[in-house]
């Protein structure tokens, strides 16, 4: 999570140089190259019946990245992560049949309401940024549900690499059409590679290592801390200062996510490697 949020902070510093779309394009392209080197997915080409799931998986990944980066271009990183977390949280809560989970729904809704521009403390938060963060959460939910089928089994790394390639291909026309080619130089390429390394390649590898050693429930509880780590990363690297009410909102979302992870036995494993 430290790598993921640091990568998002680096990406945000790249936006003024080449734009959001080009940043997403570089991240997905370099990340696909890195995962192709690590997992050598050409040794496992999806079957004809599997390609549909892999394509949806890749498109959801691309849309999630583009919408999330658009969000953090407009609102603080910690707030965007808290709003995006509504996606995996919704998947967890919908998969549970326990009435106790209504408590976590209440915490999540309360946290979201505190982040919406409904009060004087939050009126400066860009509504468009909020909308994109929530849409990124929806894409993350699709990514989790489809990804659970796509990456099941020993070829999960290979499928993730194919999905990244599809996401990069999807974003490429948007990035090319909205980017000043002259802005792409050695410096921006190195930064783009750094974003891919921090946000995709390293976290995905560490996640696979963690999941071999941690129960899925423990893993999910730890990943619930990502909005808090994102807020800290935004403060350290981007000088993003949040008001106490926004920190409370983030804490409520974290509580909802961690609580549902701890008490729900039906919660699916949340994939985080390309969430931010």
Instruction: Give the pLDDT confidence of 34-82 residue by residue, as tens digits.
Output: 989 988 888 877 777 778 888 888 899 899 999 999 999 999 999 999 9
Dump pLDDT digits (tens) for 217-231: 788 888 889 999 999
pLDDT for the residue 29: 94
Least confident of 129-143, 145-159, 258-272: 258-272
What digits encode the pLDDT tens for the residues 245-258? 999 999 999 999 88
Residue 272: its pLDDT value, please? 45
Q: Which of 8-12, 167-171, 212-216 has the lowest mean pLDDT?
A: 212-216
Question: What span, in angstroms and rounded, lies between the C-alpha atoms of 273 and 85?
Answer: 13
pTM score, two decimals?
A: 0.89
**pLDDT confidence of 270, banded at 50, 70, 90?**
very low
Q: What is the mean pLDDT of the chain?
A: 86
Q: What is the pLDDT, as a whole number, of residue 169?
A: 95
State both tokens at 152. Answer: 């099941």
- What confidence category does residue 273 fall into, taking pLDDT thresholds of 50, 70 and 90? very low
> Is the pLDDT reported for residue 274 higher than 60?
no
What count of other Cβ atoms lies within 10 Å of the Cβ of residue 265?
A: 9
> In this structure, what DSSP letter does residue 95 have?
T
pLDDT at 92 over 80: no
Q: What is the pLDDT of residue 201?
A: 82
The whole-number average pLDDT for the span 231-239 is 95
Q: Average of pLDDT values for 155-184?
A: 88
DSSP 8-state secondary structure symbol assigned to residue 200 = I
* 71 contacts: CB under 8 Å, gap ≥ 6: 80, 83, 84, 129, 130, 132, 133, 136
How confident is the model over 106-145, as pLDDT tens digits? Answer: 999 999 999 988 778 888 899 999 999 999 999 988 887 8
Can you list the alpha helix ranges (DSSP code H) found in the chain? 2-18, 20-39, 51-72, 77-84, 86-94, 101-115, 127-150, 156-178, 186-196, 202-213, 216-223, 226-238, 244-263
């Amino acid at each position: 999570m430290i790598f993921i949020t640091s990568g998002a902070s680096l990406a945000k510093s790249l936006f003024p140089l080449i734009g959001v779309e080009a940043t997403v394009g570089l991240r997905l392209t370099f990340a696909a190259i890195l995962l192709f080197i690590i997992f050598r997915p050409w040794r496992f080409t999806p079957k004809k019946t599997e390609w549909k799931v892999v394509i949806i998986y890749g498109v959801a990944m691309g849309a999630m990245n583009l919408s999330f980066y658009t969000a953090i271009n407009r609102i603080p990183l910690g707030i965007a992560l808290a709003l995006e977390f509504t996606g995996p949280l919704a998947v967890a809560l919908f998969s549970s049949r326990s009435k106790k989970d209504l408590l976590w729904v209440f915490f999540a809704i309360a946290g979201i309401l505190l982040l919406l521009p409904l009060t004087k403390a939050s009126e400066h938060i860009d509504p468009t940024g909020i909308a994109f963060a929530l849409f990124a959460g929806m894409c993350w939910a699709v990514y989790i549900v489809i990804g659970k089928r796509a990456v099941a089994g020993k070829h999960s790394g290979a499928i993730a690499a194919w999905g990244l390639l599809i996401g990069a291909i999807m974003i490429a026309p948007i990035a090319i059409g909205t980017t000043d080619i002259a802005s792409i130089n050695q410096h921006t390429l190195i930064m783009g590679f750094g974003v891919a390394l921090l946000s995709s390649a390293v976290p995905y590898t560490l996640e696979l290592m963690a999941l071999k050693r941690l129960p899925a429930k423990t893993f999910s509880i730890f990943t619930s801390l990502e909005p808090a780590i994102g807020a800290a990363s935004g403060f350290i690297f981007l000088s993003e200062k949040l008001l106490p009410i926004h920190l409370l909102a983030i804490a409520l979302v974290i509580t909802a996510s961690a609580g549902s992870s701890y008490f729900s036995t039906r919660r699916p494993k949340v994939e985080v490697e390309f969430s931010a």
